[in-house]
Amino acid sequence: MPARYSIDDDLAEAERTLPAVWRRRARLGRTEPFLWFKGSPARTVEQFDAEILAAAQTLCGHGIKKGDRVCVLMKNSPEMLATMLGLWQAGAVVVPLSAQMVGPLLLDQVSRARVALAIADDALAPQLAPLAVPVVEKDRFMRESASADAADAPQSGVSFDDPALILYTSGSTGPSKGCMLSQHFCVYYGWIFWRYMGYRRDDVIYSCLPLNHVHALFASFFPALLAGAQYSFSERFSASRYWPEIADSGATTCSAIGPMASILLKQPASEAEARLRVRLAHIAPAPPGVEEFQKRFRLRVASTLFGMTEAMIFPPDPQRDPVPGVIGVAPADWDVALVDDFGREVAADEPGELVARPRRPHILFDGYFDMPEETVKAWRGLWYHTGDVCRRDADGVYWFMGRKRDQIRRRGENVSAWELESLLGAHPAVSEIAALGVSSPLGEEEIVLFVRHAEGSPVSVDALKAFSEKVVPKFMRPDRILIRKDELPKTPSGKIDKRQLQAMLLEGKGQAGE
């Protein structure tokens, strides 16, 4: 049985806000080194604190007040982190979006969030021009912050139940949904990783994952604050730079997603490997060859857990050997069950949808922003429905088996098949379209797109790839495009039969185009 902890032993309710967590970190040692980012000066706690307070004061100058939603459209950078912490200090709700977002998908998410302001990298800001939203370029914002008086920064005034973030997550039968996450939710999620991963004051925690996702924020940055540790990060994942950056920053723990680990295993040995001092790596899901990964890089992999944007349900268990599929035993802070399509519990070793119910307030998301029907749909029968299929063995261990929803997991991102089909189906030569996720040799999935071209309007794979570059971010672009002249197979209800398409792929009958 893994260790069990209680947040009540570590943090009073008043400390469960992000501004309070940062102030707690600042009190532990203002002159300590805190932030490392490749190509940027290292920051002490005191230096970074001044940047945060200056950002908060600058935001007030732009009219931002408690409860306002602000879009942050940036690549990973120290300035992005300072801006987000400044927003929380000002009491605002942060809406961070992927820097890969382009075209109608980007405009839709910003528009639906009804933001009062957008702060964007200079190169990304022009994309927001069609919207009636004030936009401040990052360089301008940093110049304004540099001249701001940090002593005039606002007191946050936020409570643990106030909203802190809206993170977009893939929809299964509609557009991406904005998860509303409270201050307490964010702190609790970070606390889970701090305590259960065993992060320490002398750790340097590294991440190269995007800060608009739970992985980088909740599993790396927030735990670093709570542990009183240092944080090192980079703009993005690079197989050739991953270990050199970790070695250069002195990181003792790191994180990745399964496919990244598979890519790293295929890389030739580098001089940086001899300089590594990493003791623990959080990698989920467990990649193929995880034993080889641990042996080669001389570290321990923690992959036993289950979390999503909406909730962190099964805490990590670094003491359990990483086994692909294992997510752990029933957690302390949740009631969990596996149910069939009618909400009835299934027997041991039978597959069922994982449903969960919190035993504490504010550890589940607060709902989908402006989407009450989707919120009710996710929370039915007095259970939160994860949309993931699991089984429970005779020893009470839960195993992940796959997704129930029409959703594709690619490169650490949840891709809505519906959204992808809607965007690429807008091409005038497309008559029918279906997006599928198929297993990838690197772990997770690749995107295969079936397209039936309109009569008299043949279309090439290259033309569709070029179109996808204009309308969807890189992580949503299909790996394979199969073009057909025949109608796509249908179910009795007239919907495209994706199971039959999957079978055709297995039989090698996908038809033209790659």
Per-residue pLDDT reduced to its tens digit, 55-86: 999 999 999 999 999 999 999 999 999 999 99
Selection from 505, 455, 512 nearest residue 481 by Cα = 512
Edge-first strand listing for the sheet containing 40-44: 40-44, 33-37, 230-233, 204-207, 253-257, 280-284, 300-302
Digit-coded pLDDT (tens) for 213-240: 899 999 999 999 999 999 999 999 999 9
pLDDT tens track for 110-134 = 999 999 999 999 999 999 999 999 9
Least confident window among 304-318, 374-388, 425-439, 490-504: 490-504
Give me the pLDDT at residue 284, please: 87
pLDDT of residue 174: 66
Contact (Cβ atoms closer than 8 angstroms) between residue 450 and residue 425: no
* Of 172 and 364, more confident: 364
Mean pLDDT, residues 402-415: 73
Picking from 167, 226, 193, the residue whose alpha carbon sits closest to that of residue 365 is 167
pLDDT band at 514 (very low <50, low <70, confident <90, very high): very low
Query: Confidence band (pLDDT; 50, 70, 90) for 495?
Result: low
Residue 480 pairs with which residues in a beta bridge? Answer: 448
Least confident of 102-106, 203-207, 399-403: 399-403
Asked if pLDDT for residue 163 goes beyond 70, the answer is: yes
pLDDT of residue 206: 98
Q: Inform me whether the pLDDT recorded for 1 exceeds 60.
A: no
- How far is the C-alpha of 179 from the C-alpha of 20, rounded, in Å? 22
**Is residue 191 classed exposed, middle or buried when 0-12, 13-18 and 19+ CB atoms within 10 A define those classes?**
buried
Q: How many other C-beta atoms can be found within 10 angstroms of the C-beta atom of residue 414?
A: 20
CA distance 270 to 243: 8
Inter-residue contact 236 to 76 (CB < 8 Å): yes
Give the total residue count for the chain. Answer: 514
Q: Which amino acid is at 165?
A: L
pLDDT in the model for residue 406: 64
Beta-bridged to residue 384, according to DSSP, are 356, 379
User: First and final CA of the chain: distance in angstroms?
Assistant: 48
Q: Which of 122, 81, 77, 123 is nearest to 235 (CA)?
A: 77
Mean pLDDT for the stretch of residues 140-147: 95
* Model confidence at 103: pLDDT above 50: yes
Cis peptide before 285 (omega within 30 of 0): yes
What lies within 8 Å, CB to CB, of 140 at 6+ separation is: none
**Nearest one of 270, 274, 331, 322 to 301, comparing CA atoms:** 322
pLDDT at position 10 is 97
Of 102-116, 375-389, 414-428, 490-504, give the lowest mean pLDDT range: 490-504
User: Between these two residues, 256 and 172, which has the higher pLDDT value?
Assistant: 256
Rounded to the nearest 10 degrees, the angle between the axes of helix 461-471 and helix 417-424 is: 110
Mean pLDDT of all residues in 129-157: 91
Query: Could you give the 3-state DSSP secondary structure of residue 301?
Result: strand
Specify the amino acid at residue 430: V
Q: pLDDT tens, 435-458?
A: 888 877 776 788 999 998 877 778
Percent of the chain at pLDDT > 90 equals 69
Q: What is the mean pLDDT of residues 258-280?
A: 91
Q: 510 falls in which pLDDT band (50, 70, 90)?
A: low
Whether 448 contacts 424, CB under 8 Å: no
Give residue 324's pLDDT band: very low, low, confident or very high (50, 70, 90).
confident
> Looking at residue 268, what DSSP letter applies?
P
pLDDT tens-digit readout, 33-54: 999 999 999 999 999 999 999 9
Q: In what order do the strands lie in the sheet with 177-182?
A: 135-137, 117-120, 69-73, 93-97, 163-169, 177-182
- pLDDT surpasses 70 at 181: yes
Cα–Cα distance for residue pair 262/258, rounded to 1 Å = 6
Q: Which pair of structure tokens corresponds to residue 22?
A: 């940062």
- Residue 409, burial from CB neighbour count under 10 angstroms (0-12, 13-18, 19+): buried
pLDDT of residue 158: 95
Does the pLDDT value for residue 250 go beyond 90? yes
Mean pLDDT to the nearest integer, 162-190:
89
Domains of the chain: 11-378 (3.40.50.12780), 407-506 (3.30.300.30)
Query: What local confidence, expressed as pLDDT, does residue 428 receive?
Result: 84
Distance between CA 426 and CA 126 in Å, rounded?
A: 23
DSSP string, 80-118: HHHHHHHHHHTT-EEEEE-TT--HHHHHHHHHHHT-SEE
Please check the confidence at residue 429 and state whether its pLDDT lies above 50: yes
Instruction: Taking residues 423-439, report their average pLDDT.
Output: 84
For 97, 288, 445, 478, the CA distances from 440, given in Å and listed in that order, are: 26, 11, 5, 13
Average pLDDT over the chain, rounded to an integer = 91
pLDDT exceeds 80 at position 281: yes
What is the widest separation between alpha-carbon atoms in the chain?
70
